[in-house]
Structure 1
C-alpha cells in the first residue's frame, strides 16, 4: 500500500469541473407537467484520472483532490492523492503511464510518495488562484478560452487599494455563491494582489480555502467597482455588508486557474 501524491494541470474548457458526477436529470417542458430525461455522465477531471488509474492498477482507485474547480475552470498545479494497492510500479513510471492513458487536456507532472494518512485536501495549508483579464483590443484566438477580455486597461493602483482590504481572517459571505454549504464563511487570506503581464491583468489570491465561486465573485466585483470609479472604502463597505446582492458580477470561468497548492507551513482554520 502506497499513498501517492500527483501534481497535474488541466484545461477546464471541456470539463464539468473537477468532481466526479453522477447521472443528472434535466427538466424538459413547461407548466405543471414537466418531463425529465437523464443525460450521460458529465465529463470531469477526477473521473478521467480515475479511469486511467483503474487501467494501470486493474482495479478501481479513488482519487482525492486538494479542492474542487468548477466547470470551465483550469488548473496549472492541482494536487491529488490516491492509495495504490500495489508496489510493483516504480514511482517515476506513474507519470508516463498515466499520461499515455489520459486525454490531451490533462497532464500529470510529478508523483511522490506520502505517508498513508496524508490527504491532499486536509493537508493543504493554502491554495493560490490566478484570474487572467485581457486588456488589449483583441485577444489572440488561442487565448480566448483562458482570459476575460476587458478591452481596456483598468487602474491597477485602485484595484490593489481595494484588494488590500482582504488580508487576514476575513468574513467572505458577500462573495459566496447561493447554495454554498460552508459552515463558516470566514477564510484566512494571505494575500490578494493585481499585477500586469504584458497585455494581461492578473489577479492573484492565496488563502487557506475558498467559498464556492468566491474568486470569480471577487474578480467581477473589483472590475465593476473600478470601472465605476469606486474606492477601497466602497469595496470595504461591500465586504462588511456580507450580502452577495451588494457585490458585483461573477467573472466568467475561463479566466480562472488553480495556480498552486502548498503543503508546507501552518494551516490556519476559519
Structure 2
C-alpha cells in the first residue's frame, strides 16, 4: 500500500469548504476524492491537514491518501490536474512513509489574511480580500499582535462552544505589511481553533480603527468570552499558505 502526500492550491470562492459533506459535492475534499477514485478504480479517501472554511483559499494545503495503484506520481498529477476543476490544482505529489498522517503530524501552519483598505473598493481584489474603507492605525494593531503572540487559551477568539479538548494554542508570529491599499496579515502558529484567525482579524481591525484598545486583548484572554472579541471577518480574505512538518 502506497501513501501519497499531496500539496494543493485552491480558490475556495465557490465551495462550501474543505471537508466532504454527505449532501453536497461542492467541497474541495469531495472533488479530489471523486477524481482519485476514478483514477485508481477504487474508493479513495484523503486526509487533510485541517479544514478551511467555506470561501477560504489555500496555496499550500496538505493531504495524504493510500492506494494500491501502480501509477507513477507524474501520471497521477497530470490526471488530477486534467480532470479537477480549474480552481483546484495539485501542486506536488510525494510518496511518504506509511505512517505519515497529514493532520496528526502537522507541526504548524502559516495563514495570510488580506484587507483592501481604501474608501474605493477594488473590482479585482474583492474575491481575495476584505474591503475595509476606514482608517487603520498599523502601530496600534502591531501592539495588539505582540499580545496575541505566545501560548494562551484562545477560546475567546474562537467560534467553538465549550469543549473538553484544550483550547490553548501557541501563536509564534504575526506580521503586518502594506503594499499600496492592500494590507497583508500573516499568522504562524502550531495550530488554530475554529474561526480563530478571522476573529483575531476582526479584533485587530477594531483596534486599528480606534474602537478598541490594544490592552483589551488581555481582557479577552482573561474572560474567554467570544462576544468580548471583535467580529468574524469574511472568509474570502483568508489563505492557508503552508503546513509545516518536522
Report how far residue 123 of structure 1 moved: 0.9
- CA distance 1:140–1:126, change in 2 (3 Å): same
TM-score, normalising length: structure 2 = 0.95
Q: Paired residue for 1:243?
A: 225
TM-score, normalising length: structure 1 = 0.87
| SS of residue paired to 1:13 | helix
Q: Quick check: 172-181 or 142-151, which moved more?
A: 172-181
Q: Paired residue for 2:201?
A: 219
Residue pair 2:25, 2:31 contacting (<8 A) in 1 also = no
Q: Paired residue for 1:51?
A: 34
Q: Paired residue for 2:61?
A: 78
Report how far residue 168 of structure 1 moved: 2.1
Distance in 2 between residues matched to 1:210 and 1:154, nearest whole Å: 25
Q: Alpha-carbon deviations, 1:22-53, whole Å to 9, x = none?
A: 22xxxxxxxxxxxxxxxxx2510000000110
Instruction: Provide structure 2 residue ranges, at least 5 long, that are not aligned to the other structure.
Output: none
Q: Which residues of 2 match residues 1-270 of structure 1 at below 5 A?
A: 1-23=1-23, 41-87=24-70, 89-179=71-161, 181=163, 183-264=165-246
Report how far residue 195 of structure 1 moved: 1.5
Structure 1 stretches of 4+ moved >4 Å: none
How many residues are aligned here? 246
Distance in 2 between residues matched to 1:118 and 1:180, nearest whole Å: 31
Residue pair 2:148, 2:217 contacting (<8 A) in 1 also = no
Q: Quick check: 221-230 or 98-107, which moved more?
A: 221-230
- CA distance 1:69–1:182, change in 2 (3 Å): farther
Distance in 2 between residues matched to 1:116 and 1:138, nearest whole Å: 52
Distance in 1 between residues matched to 2:9 and 2:162, nearest whole Å: 26
Q: Alpha-carbon deviations, 1:179-207, whole Å to 9, x = none?
A: 47561110011112222133211111111
Distance in 1 between residues matched to 2:229 and 2:69, nearest whole Å: 50
Report how far residue 249 of structure 1 moved: 0.6
| SS of residue paired to 1:232 | coil
Report how far residue 221 of structure 1 moved: 0.9
Residue pair 1:11, 1:73 contacting (<8 A) in 2 also = yes
Q: Alpha-carbon deviations, 1:85-119, whole Å to 9, x = none?
A: 122x1122222110111001101101111100000
| SS of residue paired to 1:219 | helix
Instruction: Provide structure 1 residue ranges, at least 5 long, that are not aligned to the other structure.
Output: 24-40, 265-270
Q: Alpha-carbon deviations, 1:222-266, whole Å to 9, x = none?
A: 1012212543312222222211011111101111111110113xx
Distance in 2 between residues matched to 1:188 and 1:251, nearest whole Å: 21
